[in-house]
Amino acid sequence: MKKSALQKARAAYQPKLPIVLTGAVKAEAGHATNSVADQEAIKNLFPNTYGLPELKFEKSSTPTPSKPVNVGVILSGGQAPGGHNVICGLFDGIKKVHRDSKLYGFLMGPGGFVNHDYMELTAEFIKDYRNTGGFDIIGSGRTKLETKEQFDKGLEILRELNISALVIIGGDDSNTNAAVLAEYYKSINAGVQVLGCPKTIDGDLKNDVIETSFGFDTATKVYSELIGNIQRDCNSAKKYWHFIKLMGRSASHIALECALQCQPNVCIISEEVEEKNMSLQDVVNYIADIVAARAAKGMNFGSVLIPEGLIEFIPAVKRLIAELNDLLAEKAEEFATVDAADQRDWIIDNLSEANAKVYKSLPPRVARQLSLDRDPHGNVQVSLIETEKLLSEMVGKRLEEMREEGSYNGKYASLHHFFGYEGRCSDPSNFDADYCYALGFNAACLIRAGVTGYMSSVRNLTKPSVQWVAGGIPITMMMNMERRNGEMKPVIQKALVRLDGAPFQKFAAQRDEWAVNTCYIYPGPIQFFGPAEICDQPTLTLKYEHQGK
């Protein structure tokens, strides 16, 4: 690997550990826990790992003797900055337990565990990955660990390598699977601990006890750099509206954090759209009104942030998609015989009146995408819809109506951007470098504490990292029952943006001013070597959530 100058310099960075983890620790157990909902059901499904206590590590004055431990690690799902540091922290942690401990990485995600593709991670090998972005150290994958066959197959390689603990670095689904695996291994007395680490740039894996998932900090800083640059361009040329779609799956945390960082003219929050039962046209009108208000002040330019998941949160569109899926499945044969030129009319004739109306309101290109581009299960591929173009096109139409009504008299030209892959593998910010290293190191402490079914937890994150609090949270505590593919399943509750939460409230209190004035902030690129107020700040989401407590 030919390294960039920055990579070489960053290799020397020593992530800051919470002070408590720098010496010998003992695990202090809190009260027994309950799941956030559906307690009876969850308890029945996790008889061996339900109700465990929260753990908090405290300094211990009496180091206990230790023996080597072999540990396996899996990177699961989409990349997030800092994953390499979780592995480095875990490695250093188990080496501190005993220098003969070994770390094995399963390759290309959970598939490597099931298929016995692995490598030993040595000090020499991992040194090139310290404080770097990406998951390329062992690769990642989206295989779901769900079946007994997979668990048993995986157990074979764990036995072969004498691995007694498995750490799964993943999002809500992967950690759910970690809990199921922990329960299973416990139930058969396999002698293997299973632990999780909270990963996702989307920021939707958090709750009262997990303050944030790793990667959210860095990814939102990269997107904010780009949004700030675009806004500065926008405010220099003064002739374009920039529509910027941002990754984040269902939740709007990324869009919200970027809005707090950059103060755009518009930021749509999907959760609010759903709560207010807004139609697509309502969203369009909201934006068009702001375009018109700025035009009236002579400003024919602006910025609009759009969360990736928006379209699915618009109740009317959600209903249309549901009916379309059913319709195209039920009448697949008939639809196949319809001429391309007549498909639009056929769909309109076959939809209920309400959904036909929504369908007709969509630009033809988008409507076409909805009926033609379907996934292997025959479902409409909502993620293919270029919401940023859809909205800007509909806003343009609405402005023409307003021009005829006399309520708009400006120029409107739009440009489009979608940011996602640009931020998932960035070099981790100092925050994520420290947080991830601590999560991994802390996982080693949980292994030493002998527990299973826990998620590595590092808290107090708005304080300097030496003051962070470390421990473990029983994964079952975060679970409830949800319908998945027609079946009720135990899953970790996904954290959407709370409209009563401090981050959204801060945004809502200022957005009207940001809309009509130009209050852009230009955060610039992530810095690693400068003063702390530039290099060591957590997200505003985290700051406001803590202030709100």
Query: Closer to a copy of itself at the Cβ: 193 or 218?
Result: 218
Minimum gap (Å) between residue 532 Cβ and a copy of itself:
10
Task: Report if residue 265 touches a copy of itself, rule: CB under 8 A.
Answer: no
The three-state secondary structure class of 4 is coil
Task: Report if residue 214 touches a copy of itself, rule: CB under 8 A.
Answer: no
Among 196, 307, 501, 523, binds a copy of itself (CB under 8 A): 523
What is the x/- site pattern for a copy of itself, positions 128-157, by CB under 8 A? ----xxxxx--xx-----------------
Among 193, 263, 430, 456, binds a copy of itself (CB under 8 A): 263
The structure tokens listed for 339 are: 């001429």
Q: Considering only 63-71, 200-208, 284-292, 415-423, which stretch makes contact with a copy of itself by CB under 8 A? A: 415-423
Q: What angle do CA 248, 475, 432 make, to 5 degrees?
A: 45
Q: Which residues contact 227 (CB under 8 A, 6 or more apart)?
A: 244, 258, 261, 262, 264, 303, 305, 419
How far is residue 63 CA from its own chain's centroid?
38
The structure tokens listed for 396 are: 């343009």
Minimum gap (Å) between residue 126 Cβ and a copy of itself:
15
Among 43, 144, 232, 494, binds a copy of itself (CB under 8 A): 232
The three-state secondary structure class of 528 is coil
Query: Closer to a copy of itself at the Cβ: 336 or 341?
Result: 341
- Scanning residues 40 to 99, which ones bind a copy of itself (CB under 8 A)? 78-79
Task: Report if residue 339 touches a copy of itself, rule: CB under 8 A.
Answer: no
The structure tokens listed for 437 are: 């290293």
Minimum gap (Å) between residue 528 Cβ and a copy of itself:
6
Minimum gap (Å) between residue 34 Cβ and a copy of itself:
37
Helices 216-237 and 540-547, packing angle to 10 deg? 110
Task: Report if residue 257 touches a copy of itself, rule: CB under 8 A.
Answer: no
Task: Report if residue 108 touches a copy of itself, rule: CB under 8 A.
Answer: yes
Query: Closer to a copy of itself at the Cβ: 303 or 355?
Result: 303
Task: Report if residue 417 touches a copy of itself, rule: CB under 8 A.
Answer: yes
Query: Closer to a copy of itself at the Cβ: 93 or 410?
Result: 410
Task: Report if residue 378 touches a copy of itself, rule: CB under 8 A.
Answer: no
Query: Closer to a copy of itself at the Cβ: 132 or 457?
Result: 132
Q: Considering only 221-229, 439-447, 453-461, 464-472, which stretch makes contact with a copy of itself by CB under 8 A? A: 221-229
Q: Is residue 192 classed exposed, middle or buried when 0-12, 13-18 and 19+ CB atoms within 10 A define those classes?
A: buried
Query: Closer to a copy of itself at the Cβ: 293 or 534?
Result: 534
Q: Cα–Cα distance between 413 and 396 in angstroms, integer?
A: 8
Q: Considering only 97-105, 150-158, 468-476, 514-522, which stretch makes contact with a copy of itself by CB under 8 A? A: 514-522
Q: Cα–Cα distance between 338 and 317 in angstroms, integer?
A: 24
Minimum gap (Å) between residue 239 Cβ and a copy of itself:
9
The structure tokens listed for 176 are: 């759910």
- Scanning residues 420 to 479, which ones bind a copy of itself (CB under 8 A)? 421-427
Q: Which of 245, 175, 243, 266 is nearest to 492 (CA)?
A: 175
Minimum gap (Å) between residue 372 Cβ and a copy of itself:
13
Decide if 455 contacts 472 (C-beta within 8 A).
yes
In this structure, the strands spanning 102-106 and 118-120 are antiparallel
**Gyration radius from the chain CA atoms:** 25
Q: Which of 152, 21, 143, 133 is nearest to 84 (CA)?
A: 133
Minimum gap (Å) between residue 222 Cβ and a copy of itself:
7
Query: Closer to a copy of itself at the Cβ: 250 or 263?
Result: 263
DSSP string of 114-155, one letter each residue: HTT-EEE--HHHHGGGTT--SSTTT--B------HHHHHHHH
Query: Closer to a copy of itself at the Cβ: 226 or 255?
Result: 226
Task: Report if residue 524 touches a copy of itself, rule: CB under 8 A.
Answer: yes
Query: Closer to a copy of itself at the Cβ: 65 or 376?
Result: 376
Minimum gap (Å) between residue 257 Cβ and a copy of itself:
14
**Residues near a copy of itself (CB under 8 A), total:** 57
Among 38, 233, 272, 482, binds a copy of itself (CB under 8 A): 233
Q: Cα–Cα distance between 166 and 73 in angstroms, integer?
A: 6
Among 86, 222, 287, 399, binds a copy of itself (CB under 8 A): 222
3-class secondary structure for 58-74? EECCCCCCCCCCEEEEE
What is the x/- site pattern for a copy of itself, positions 530-549, by CB under 8 A? xx-xx--x------------
The torsion angles phi and psi of 375, rounded to 5 degrees, stand at -80, 175
Among 228, 307, 440, 453, binds a copy of itself (CB under 8 A): 228
Q: Which of 264, 288, 310 is nearest to 522 (CA)?
A: 264
Task: Report if residue 229 touches a copy of itself, rule: CB under 8 A.
Answer: yes
Quick count: other Cβ atoms within 10 Å of Cβ 69?
A: 21
The helix (H) or strand (E) run that includes residue 414 is strand 414-419
Helix, strand, coil % over all residues of the chain, rounded to 5? 50, 15, 35
Quick count: other Cβ atoms within 10 Å of Cβ 14?
A: 10
The helix (H) or strand (E) run that includes residue 490 is strand 487-492
Residue 499's alpha-carbon distances to 106, 210, 315, in angstroms, are 40, 19, 17
How far is residue 534 CA from its own chain's centroid?
24
Task: Report if residue 315 touches a copy of itself, rule: CB under 8 A.
Answer: no
Q: Which of 68, 59, 51 is nearest to 27 (CA)?
A: 59
Q: Considering only 37-45, 388-396, 462-470, 524-532, which stretch makes contact with a copy of itself by CB under 8 A? A: 524-532
Q: Known catalytic residues? A: 202
Residues in touch with a copy of itself (CB under 8 A): 2-7, 9-10, 78-79, 108, 132-136, 139-140, 222, 225-226, 228-230, 232-233, 235-238, 242, 263, 341, 415, 417, 421-427, 519, 521-531, 533-534, 537
